[in-house]
Amino acid sequence: LEGIIAKKSSSTYAPDLRSKDWLKIKVNQRQEVIIAGFTKNEDTVKQFSSLLLAVYENGQLQYVGKVGTGFSDKLQKEMMAQFKPLITDKSPFETIPDVNKPSRFRPNPPKAKATWLKPELVCEVSFSEVTSDGVFRHPSFDGMRTDKKAKDVVRETAVDTEAIIEEKDQPEDKHAKALKPPKEKERKTLLNPKDETQVRKICGHDLKFTSLSKIYWPEDKVTKRDMFNYYYRVAEYILPYLKDRPMSLNRFPGGIHGPSFYQKNVKDKAPDWAKTFPYTTSNGEDKLYLLGTDEASLLWMASLGCIEMNPWFSRAQSPDNPDYCVIDLDPDKNTFDQVVEAAQEVRKVLDAIGVPSFPKTSGSTGIHIYIPLDSKYSYDQSQMFARIIVKLVHQQIPGYTSLERMVSKRKGKMYLDFLQNRPGATIAGPYSLRPKPGATVSMPLTWDEVKPGLTMKDFTIFNATDRLKETGDLFKGVLGKGIDLVKTIKKAQSIFDVDGE
């Protein structure tokens, strides 16, 4: 048994971070809204990039934000047919909303052109909360509503009720406060800034955190304590990508410049509550992988000095069937703008054959692109598909990319790594920290963000949680509906010159 010792913390600081307050499952709100227009980004092939949403407030049309996710290409086509007759060059709003509103975390939003619609169509969206300027956070499209008149669409939550009361500077009304939905609290920090050793109860298990002021990232003055606090705060985002996955532990007990080593076997090491996955090595030894499960397993890994989180592509329930295929761009003597170019080339190829793709910075030097497979295929099939894609990409940009396995044969060109799609192989998962100067994070992106000027240090331990509050989990689709490989490969063969070999 590993040394996680049950001991009451003597610290007076530690508040009860485990009050059920934050344990509540985040329930999205839903409401009907009017479609008042749509935007189309400069580069996209889609019908539209987002819908501009509105509700009536005091008889006036009020902008409540936009939604850019939740519709398939097919649905978009049908919707566009409904939009066409309603297009108008006059904004239905009294004051024209800023649909390209930049923010601290998306300083260069893609240029989106707005098209206005007569406010007649109604749809339903879900969202996590309403921001202080009255727009939806993390909106997602749930479908059209044909049974509802646009004129009847008003705000459904009590949030605005309170906002209006405050605006008019009325005395606070207890009743209004009671109606207010529970505010999505920003998660508190796990560990206090003082004690070198602290014990916390996580998922019912006492975890001990030691050497908390040890500097893990000296260039950035980031400590082990900072690392724990980070994983604690991103837990809800990262855990879906670790859950039930065997983990390769890559340990850096002395920080990012100290010696490091891999650990796969946690037999007789993991605490008794940890879930494990048995495997047998090629020379017949029985070992146990740690499975990602919950916050306790996440923080226990971190406490071993695992700066990175390296999950399998498949889960224990179906270990031979990956949930996604990965195209891993590994630059050598390339600029990051070239990595961006290559990533967009991957996207173009995938777009052409109707395959959704999800990009993220690796946090180290490259970019990872995930393709959802929904564990319908084998690793071999996934790798075959990845090989087809990178071959096509390489044909487009042979000047600075390479498919050579041997580094010396790559001649400084970027490796289009498809071989990582094999059992037992891993890469740093989404939201993982990396043991690199800058305390970088492997950050999921929208494709609009994958453009020249992007840098690895845009996303770090310092800004990741703030960004997540704004963007939500951009990788949701990765664990969603998988592609149809058979159809897709056929389509690729019809469009491109795919050589089978």
| Count of CB atoms situated within 10 Å of the CB of 327 | 27
* Residue 134 near which of DNA, Mn ion, none (CB within 5-8 Å, type-dependent): none
Q: Smallest gap, in angstroms, from Cβ of residue 433 to DNA? A: 15
State residue 22 phi and psi, 5-degree precision. Answer: -90, -10
Q: Which is nearer to Mn ion, 319 or 366 (CB)?
A: 366
State the SS3 of 455-485: CHHHCECCCHHHHHHHHCCCCHHHHCCCCCH
Asked if 426 contacts 310 with a C-beta cutoff of 8 angstroms, the reply is: yes
For DNA, which residue of 134, 240, 254, 477 counts as binding (CB under 7 A)? 254
Of the pair 15, 412, the CB lying nearest DNA is at 412
Quote helix, strand, coil % in the chain, to nearest 5. Answer: 25, 25, 50
Site for DNA in 85-104 (CB under 7 A): none
Question: Smallest distance from the beta carbon of 235 to DNA, in angstroms?
Answer: 19
Sign of CA dihedral 218, 224, 229, 231: positive
Contact 31, 157 (CB under 8 A): yes
Least distance from C-beta 405 to Mn ion, angstroms? Answer: 11
Q: How many CB atoms lie within 10 A of CB 182?
A: 9
Asked whether position 200 contacts DNA by CB under 7 A, the answer is no
CB-wise, 63 or 252, nearer to DNA?
252
Give least dist CB 304 to Mn ion, A. 23
What per-residue string of b and e applies to 75-88 under the rule 16 or more CB within 10 Å gives b? ebeebeeebeebee
Residue of 366, 444, 472, 482 interacting with Mn ion (CB under 5 A): 366
284 binds DNA (CB under 7 A): no
| Interface with DNA (CB under 7 A), residue from 70, 110, 134, 253 | 253
State the residue for tokens 């099939």: 381
Q: Residue 109: name its binding partner from DNA, Mn ion, none (Cβ under 5 to 8 Å by kind).
A: none
Taking CB under 5 A as the criterion, the residue among 160, 220, 294, 328 binding Mn ion is 328
Establish if 308 lies at the interface with Mn ion (CB under 5 A).
no
Distance CA 256, CA 461 (A): 14
Tell me how far, at minimum, the Cβ of 498 lies from DNA, in Å.
Answer: 21
Q: Which of 322, 339, 417 is nearest to 379 (CA)?
A: 322
Residue 1 touches which of Mn ion, DNA, none (Cβ within 5-8 Å per kind): DNA
Q: Which member of 262, 318, 470, 487 binds DNA (CB under 7 A)? A: 262
Indicate which of Mn ion, DNA, none lies near residue 430 (CB less than 5 to 8 Å, by partner kind).
none
Q: How many CB atoms lie within 10 A of CB 469?
A: 16
3-state SS, residue 359: strand
Q: Which is nearer to DNA, 60 or 281 (CB)?
A: 281
Q: Residue 296 — φ and ψ, nearest 5°?
A: -65, -45
Q: What's the DSSP call for residue 171?
A: P
Closest separation in Å from C-beta 417 to DNA: 6
**Nearer to Mn ion (CB atom), residue 161 or residue 364:** 364
One residue of 244, 295, 330, 449 binding Mn ion per CB under 5 A: 330
215 scored as a contact of DNA (CB under 7 A): no
The answer to whether 402 and 333 have CB atoms below 8 angstroms apart is no
The minimum distance between CB 420 and Mn ion, in angstroms, equals: 5
Q: Which of residues 394-453 bind Mn ion (CB under 5 A)?
A: 417
Cβ nearer to DNA, comparing 299 with 349: 299
Pairing of strands 136-137, 129-130: antiparallel
Distance of closest approach, residue 238 Cβ to DNA, in angstroms: 20
Q: Which helix (H) or strand (E) holds 407?
A: helix 407-410
Neighbours of 104 (CB within 10 A): 9
Q: Which residues pair with 117 in a beta bridge?
A: 87
Nearest distance from residue 451's CB to DNA, in Å? 24
Q: Do residues 63 and 91 make contact, with C-beta atoms less than 8 angstroms apart?
A: no
Quick one: what does residue 487 bind among DNA, Mn ion, none, with the CB cut-off 5 to 8 Å set by partner type? Answer: none
CA distances from 132 to 104, 159, 163, 167 (A): 16, 9, 8, 11
Residue nearest to Mn ion (CB): 417
Candidates 105-113, 118-126, 203-211, 444-452: pick the segment binding DNA (CB under 7 A).
Answer: 203-211
Q: Which of residues 404-443 bind DNA (CB under 7 A)?
A: 405-408, 415, 417, 420, 422, 424-425
Smallest distance, DNA to C-beta of residue 280, A: 8
For binding to DNA (CB under 7 A), which residues are involved? 1-3, 208, 210-211, 214, 224, 248, 251, 253-254, 259, 261-265, 281-282, 285, 287, 303-305, 328, 330, 405-408, 415, 417, 420, 422, 424-425
